[in-house]
Amino acid sequence: MNPLKLAVPSKGRLQEQTIEWFGARGITLERTGSGREYAGRVLGVNNVELVLLSAGEIPRELAAGRIHMGVTGIDLVREKIPAWQGAVDEISRMGFGHADLILAVPKIWVDVENLDDLAAVTAAFRARHGMRLRIATKYHNLVRDYLRQNGVADYQLVDSQGATEGTIKNLTAEAVADITSTGATLEANHLKILPGDPIVKSQATLFASHGADWQGAADVARQEIINQIEARNA
């Protein structure tokens, strides 16, 4: 017996929407035990074990092959898994949890309207202050790749795991790269999003691990899950 381990977010609205999404496809996810216990079961597909993890942990477990399938954000997979295309398959985008990873600068920077302007400002900032312009983010890999591809060089990334928009007011950064769904928090902190495509357009997505053991029951369960998803999406 080799049950398929399916990981879903352990709490919050993302968990609720995941349960609703699977339920609409004939697969019931149920938490068991007390509210503080991370345990559950799956009905509607045989030989599936439910694993409850934070959305941020799921990419790591997928990459390690310790879970077979998992629900998390596109942004988290691409940030946390090097060469992610070789580590996971995208099974289905789920239509909720939408957010964009964007670059934002202070509104008072009236001369900064695009990435070319930002590149010029970073160079001028270093010449004037003798240090690189700081961009606060928790998405170091994605932001670094994006800026390199767009010719922005004179900057440094500053780690921010919470309240990223407030780093400029607190004088710990000059710009931010963060996830946003409405832009309201950025607006409240007097920041503007640089025009153009976001660094990543994210949403909740079901991924499958390349490195997991797919022999026997796990592979049969995977195909049953995919069949039920495709039947509902048809």
Mean pLDDT of the chain: 92
pLDDT band at 39 (very low <50, low <70, confident <90, very high): low
Give the mean model confidence (pLDDT) for residues 128-149: 95
In tens, the pLDDT along 154-173 reads: 999 999 877 677 788 888 89
Give the mean model confidence (pLDDT) for residues 178-199: 89
Q: Structural domains in the chain?
A: 4-97+204-233 (3.40.190.10), 99-201 (3.40.190.10)
Whether residue 134 has pLDDT greater than 60 = yes
Looking at residue 167, its pLDDT comes to: 81
The secondary structure of the chain, three-state, reads CCCEEEEEECCHHHHHHHHHHHHCCCCEEEEECCCCCCEEEEECCCCEEEEEECCCCHHHHHHHCCCCEEEEEHHHHHHHCCCHHHCEEEEEECCCCCEEEEEEEECCCCCCCCHHHHHHHHHHHHHHHCCCEEEEECCHHHHHHHHHHCCCCCEEEEECCCCHHHHCCCCCCCEEEEEECCCHHHHHCCEEECCCCCCEEECEEEEEECCCCCCCHHHHHHHHHHHHHHHHHC
